[in-house]
Amino acid sequence: MEKLKKKIRSFSFWNWVIASIIFRLILIYFPNNLNLSSRPEVSTPLTSFRRLSEGYWLKQLSMSPYAGSMYHGSPLLLSLLGPLTVKRIEGQPNHLLYSLVSVIADVVSAMLIRATGQNLQVAYFGTLKSFDLVKQIEGSEVHSPGDVAALIYLCNPFTIVACMGLSTSPIENMAVILCLYGACSRLIPLAAFGWVIATHMSLYPAILIIPVIFLLGRGPDAPPRKLFLQMHQEKGVLNQSKLPPCFSWGPIIHFAFWALLWSVYVLVLCGISLKQFGGLWEMFKSTYGFILTVEDLSPNIGVLWYFFAEVFEFFWNFFLIVFHANILFMILPLAIRLHHRPCYLAYVAVCSMLKSYPSVGDSALYSGLLGWFVNELSDMQFSLFLFCGYVGVSPLSPVMHNLWIWRGTGNANFYFATTMVYACLQIVLVVEGVSAMLNHDRKLRSLITGKPRDAKS
Amino acid sequence: METFNNSKPVLVLLLLPCLLLYSLISFNSSSVEAAMHTNNWAVLVCTSRFWFNYRHMANTLSLYRTVKRLGIPDERIILMLADDMACNTRNKYPAQVFNNENHRLNLYGDNVEVDYRGYEVTVENFLRVLTGRHETAVPRSKRLLSDEGSHILLYMTGHGGDEFLKFQDSEELQSHDLADAVKQMKEKHRFKELLIMVDTCQAATLFNQLQSPGVLAIGSSMKGENSYSHHLDSDVGVSVVDRFTYYTLAFFERLNIYDNASLSSLFSSYNPSWLMSTAYYRKDLYKRNLEEVPVTNFFGSVMETIHTDAAYKALSRRNSGRFEAQMSLDSVHHAERRTLMKVNDQEETHDVNPEGNKQPLQGEEGASKCPWSTFCNKFRKGENVDSLVNYGLVTMIPLLVIPTWLVR
């Protein structure tokens, strides 16, 4: 019965995967990719396809790809994806090859999410076994986090839109997921590679260093170590092998070495490719400098554009520091509190709410990663509210944009309202998720120690 | 000791202007020698108005058509027409200007771009165009944006006399004004070579005062002679072309963009009996031999093509002198070069063979046989940057896969 159930589940998983791939392929053949690449929600100054092809064209004319402040990405992406922007095949839609690359990136990300989820599932069952709690869990419906997360990622409308909108976020997401997969599976060169590439393409994945360090030092998500000690105190059995390992620094050093190696490699390649155009300093100014100083104030689903349009320039530096430091200030206390659950920490790190130029590709990523924690977050409050909120904001945002820009019957506040709601939803999601995770830990503790504890909400 | 200490600052003060002078001289001379011919400009001026001066308009428009046909684009032509003949109320053929009574060619087609028209053609504007000293609001299409690598053709036609040229029937451009403007242009490095062609009465006197090097000038008649119109078109009612321009056009109509007729063949094609005047040219300021200079150096826009496989990078001015020297060395040795011939003898045209697949700086070829130094050379030249980056990206994959596989 178990095997049949598992077989059905895995069969339907692959069904869904193939269905989503076919759906993407059908969407590719729609004319002009449904104009998705011109939507501000999909294409930001960092991920826009038009800017990538402009950068490539400038490079072909032996001018700096950053000339004219159009392209703000990595020069390596230009060498990789640039030729695909101009290649045309007779009788096929215009950017077929590039779309295929995005689809393949999505599929690879989904597979990696699945593998990481399976890792997490194994670790979860391992900890449950060591707590002798397996019997209590077996009765209830336990979803395979890997499958769920992979399916959420693939079938999420946000992911499909980001893929069809020809943005570079599928590839950035793939790098982030690669990093997390490598860290979960203790494949340190892979993790370092993913981290370096993700940081190189957009600056914010650099914060993933904290969860990655915890992942490598301690292993995937597990209840806090003191629970184990408490359990052994209670039960009186001391079995050293069942204890989770202490924090080990060896893998960290290994990771640091590989990260250094990959960063030097990537920087050398970038330096070579930008030799005549100002070198690495120009690249840093145009990519990281552009991200950090929020130069482009065109509308997107973030809140920074509106804010910086109304703040006097005198105060820009202060507010930029505040917003960017906010990301650190969010992660560091959570790192202390959730250090035993580094994957969840990674999920929170990826929910970058105060990013300079967010797009739906980012929400695709963290929605997918949310799937890893279906079991822990099953009792999350406001889940229906959040789901309906996302479903409501998604069509409203293009509508408000249309009202504002094309019809002129609305103004920027209309659009900003939807982006504010979106940011609120993200914040509520993160806060509720963290509470749900902590509640889950408390429940485990109450199960183990047998003492009833208040379940704070 | 004390006097030495006191004289030290004085010595330094004396040394500074010497150094300054030396650097200026060396910079000037080096910059002049290093300029390579990079573009061609044409300034075509018709200075007379009224219907009976139809032929001056037709002269200028014919030369405009020739110059465009041989390759100079509109961005690099400044066309100044003092009056509008095509849409003149006395024109029986509206929007059409002919330079021959057979009406074969309409010179006023769709793509005639007149930069200065009507009353804008004044001596002041003409001198502003030449010297580049405009008001800030003057658009780019009305400026002569030449640089030190430009060859400029300056063609002027109208009514003139002894050391002057009449503009708009109300003012004059004198020969020393022109010479002064050319001197300013030379100071500001606004041309590499300048060809002045004047078709008026007593045209040769207009460039009596020229002193700047690199200037070649030809006028349709000498002092005391008149330049005559060629023929009268009884249908339009006025003379439609001047003799000097007519024979110039006859020379150019036989050419296409690939011909290499030389300037000396152009100048020797003027027959005084046909012109009814002596076409006099002044080449004392022009250092090159007229037999070697193709007419397309001024009247067209044909450049040497060098085939390189990598992306094109514009050469800096500093390197161009060395480049030019080596190019001419190569040109002597290889037999595939275009050879200059006179149009009168043979009408054959040679195909313009590119320099083959040879790299531009061939002098270094023999020196470095070692692959590492050729690699370094190529790397320094920046030709293989893209392929290097691609190789780097490709090697990333095994570098990633192998340690991952080893670690697992």
User: What confidence tens digit (pLDDT) does each residue in B89-100 have?
Assistant: 999 898 899 989
Q: What is the mean pLDDT of residues A79-106?
A: 85
Of the listed ranges A127-136, A284-293, B210-219, B334-343, the one predicted with least confidence: B334-343
Residues of A within 8 A of B387 (CB-CB) are: none
Of the listed ranges A75-84, B288-297, B315-324, the one predicted with least confidence: B315-324
Task: Give the three-class secondary structure for B136.
Answer: coil
Q: What is the mean pLDDT of residues B4-8?
A: 52
Amino acid at B311: A
Residues of A within 8 A of B392 (CB-CB) are: 265, 268-269, 272
In this prediction, residue A32 has a pLDDT band, given cuts at 50, 70 and 90, of low
CB contact under 8 A, A189 and B311: no
Model confidence pLDDT, tens digit, residues A256-280: 999 999 999 999 999 988 888 877 8
For residue B360, CA distances in Å to A299, B8, B135 come to 49, 50, 42
* CA–CA min distance B312, chain A (Å): 7
Does position A371 have pLDDT exceeding 70, yes or no? yes
Residues of B within 8 A of A189 (CB-CB) are: 400, 403-404, 407
* CA–CA min distance A210, chain B (Å): 22
The H-or-E segment that residue B240 falls in is: strand B239-242
Q: What is the mean pLDDT of residues B147-168?
A: 92
Compute the distance between CA of residue A280 and CA of residue A295 in angstroms, rounded to an integer.
19
Model confidence pLDDT, tens digit, residues B66-93: 999 888 999 999 999 999 989 889 998 9
Cα A451–chain centre separation = 38
CB-based contacts of A53: which residues, under 8 Å, 6+ apart? A82, A85, A86
Quick one: pLDDT at residue B373?
A: 63
The H-or-E segment that residue A281 falls in is: helix A279-286
CB contact under 8 A, A190 and B312: no
Adjacency order of strands within the sheet including B116-117 = B116-117, B77-81, B39-46, B150-157, B193-199, B215-219, B280-282
Residue to substitute from B396, B397, B401, B405, interface A, most A β-carbons within 10 A: B396
Does position B197 have pLDDT exceeding 70, yes or no? yes
CB contact under 8 A, A189 and B386: no
Of A131 and A405, the structure prediction assigns the larger pLDDT to: A405
Quick one: pLDDT at residue B26?
A: 47
CB contact under 8 A, B313 and A273: no
Residues of A within 8 A of B389 (CB-CB) are: 75-76, 79, 269, 272-273
Does position B363 have pLDDT exceeding 50, yes or no? no
Compute the distance between CA of residue B61 and CA of residue B113 in angstroms, rounded to an integer.
10
Closest residue, chain A, to B314 (C-alpha): A62
> What's the 3-state SS for B187-237?
HCCCCCEEEEEEECCCHHHHHCCCCCCCEEEEECCCCCCCCCEEEECCCCC
In this prediction, residue A88 has a pLDDT band, given cuts at 50, 70 and 90, of confident
* CA–CA min distance A273, chain B (Å): 6
Q: What is the mean pLDDT of residues B384-397?
A: 85
Compute the distance between CA of residue A119 and CA of residue A117 in angstroms, rounded to an integer.
5
* CA–CA min distance A120, chain B (Å): 17
Does position A11 have pLDDT exceeding 80, yes or no? no
Model confidence pLDDT, tens digit, residues A113-128: 999 999 888 888 888 8
Closest residue, chain A, to B395 (C-alpha): A265
Question: Which of B389, B403, B404 lies nearest to residue A273, judging by beta carbons?
Answer: B389
Q: With pLDDT > 90 as the criterion, what percentage of chain B qualifies? A: 36
Question: Which of B313, B399, B403 lies nearest to residue A62, judging by beta carbons?
Answer: B313
Closest residue, chain A, to B401 (C-alpha): A190
In this prediction, residue B381 has a pLDDT band, given cuts at 50, 70 and 90, of low
Does position B330 have pLDDT exceeding 60, yes or no? no
CB contact under 8 A, A60 and B392: no
Residues of A within 8 A of B399 (CB-CB) are: 265
Q: Is the ipTM of this complex over 0.90?
A: no
Residues of B within 8 A of A275 (CB-CB) are: 382, 385
Quick one: pLDDT at residue A316?
A: 92
Q: What is the mean pLDDT of residues B14-41?
A: 60
Quick one: pLDDT at residue A229?
A: 73
* CA–CA min distance A190, chain B (Å): 6
CB contact under 8 A, A187 and B390: no
CB contact under 8 A, A79 and B386: yes
Task: Give the three-class secondary structure for B241.
Answer: strand
Model confidence pLDDT, tens digit, residues B126-135: 999 999 999 9
Does position B322 have pLDDT exceeding 90, yes or no? no
Compute the distance between CA of residue A178 and CA of residue A194 in angstroms, rounded to an integer.
5
Of A149 and A245, the structure prediction assigns the larger pLDDT to: A149
Question: Which of A60, A79, A186 lies nearest to residue B389, judging by beta carbons?
Answer: A79
Quick one: pLDDT at residue B196?
A: 94
* CA–CA min distance A272, chain B (Å): 7
CA distance between the termini of chain B: 80
Quick one: pLDDT at residue A237?
A: 58
Closest residue, chain A, to B384 (C-alpha): A273
* CA–CA min distance A81, chain B (Å): 11
In this prediction, residue B339 has a pLDDT band, given cuts at 50, 70 and 90, of very low
In this prediction, residue A170 has a pLDDT band, given cuts at 50, 70 and 90, of very high
Does position A33 have pLDDT exceeding 80, yes or no? no
Residues of A within 8 A of B388 (CB-CB) are: 272-273
Average pLDDT over all residues of chain B: 78
Residues of B within 8 A of A279 (CB-CB) are: none
Quick check: A48 and A359 in contact, CB under 8 A? Answer: no
Quick one: pLDDT at residue B318?
A: 45
Of B15 and A275, the structure prediction assigns the larger pLDDT to: A275
CB contact under 8 A, B389 and A265: no
Task: Give the three-class secondary structure for B174.
Answer: strand
Question: Which of A60, A189, A268 lies nearest to residue B400, judging by beta carbons?
Answer: A189
Q: What is the mean pLDDT of residues B366-389?
A: 62
Does position A424 have pLDDT exceeding 80, yes or no? yes
CB contact under 8 A, A272 and B388: yes
Residue indicated by tokens 């370094």? B376
CB contact under 8 A, A189 and B396: no
Q: What is the mean pLDDT of residues B265-286?
A: 90
CB contact under 8 A, A76 and B389: yes
Using CB atoms within 10 A of its CB, is residue B335 exposed (0-12), middle (13-18) or buried (19+)? exposed
Quick one: pLDDT at residue A339?
A: 85
Model confidence pLDDT, tens digit, residues A296-307: 888 989 899 999
Bridge-based pairing state of the strands B39-46 and B77-81: parallel
Helix intervals (H) in A94-245 = 96-130, 134-139, 145-155, 157-164, 169-184, 188-201, 209-218, 225-235
Answer yes or no: pTM beyond 0.80.
no
Residues of A within 8 A of B385 (CB-CB) are: 272-273, 275-276
List active site positions of B: 159, 201
Q: What count of CB pairs under 8 Å joins A to B? A: 49
CB contact under 8 A, B408 and A193: no
Residues of A within 8 A of B408 (CB-CB) are: 185, 187
Closest residue, chain A, to B313 (C-alpha): A62
Question: Which of A189, A190, A269 lies nearest to residue B389, judging by beta carbons?
Answer: A269
* CA–CA min distance A413, chain B (Å): 40
In this prediction, residue A381 has a pLDDT band, given cuts at 50, 70 and 90, of confident
Does position A349 have pLDDT exceeding 90, yes or no? no
Of A157 and B7, the structure prediction assigns the larger pLDDT to: A157
Of B95 and A457, the structure prediction assigns the larger pLDDT to: B95
Compute the distance between CA of residue A348 and CA of residue A334 in angstroms, rounded to an integer.
9
Quick one: pLDDT at residue B335?
A: 38
Tokens standing for residue A367: 């929605």
Of B369 and B166, the structure prediction assigns the larger pLDDT to: B166
CB contact under 8 A, A265 and B399: yes
Does position B376 have pLDDT exceeding 70, yes or no? no
CB contact under 8 A, B388 and A275: no
Q: What is the mean pLDDT of residues A340-368?
A: 87
Task: Give the three-class secondary structure for B164.
Answer: strand
Average pLDDT over all residues of chain A: 86
Quick one: pLDDT at residue A238?
A: 54
CB contact under 8 A, A258 and B403: yes
Quick one: pLDDT at residue B338?
A: 42
Q: What is the mean pLDDT of residues B307-333?
A: 51
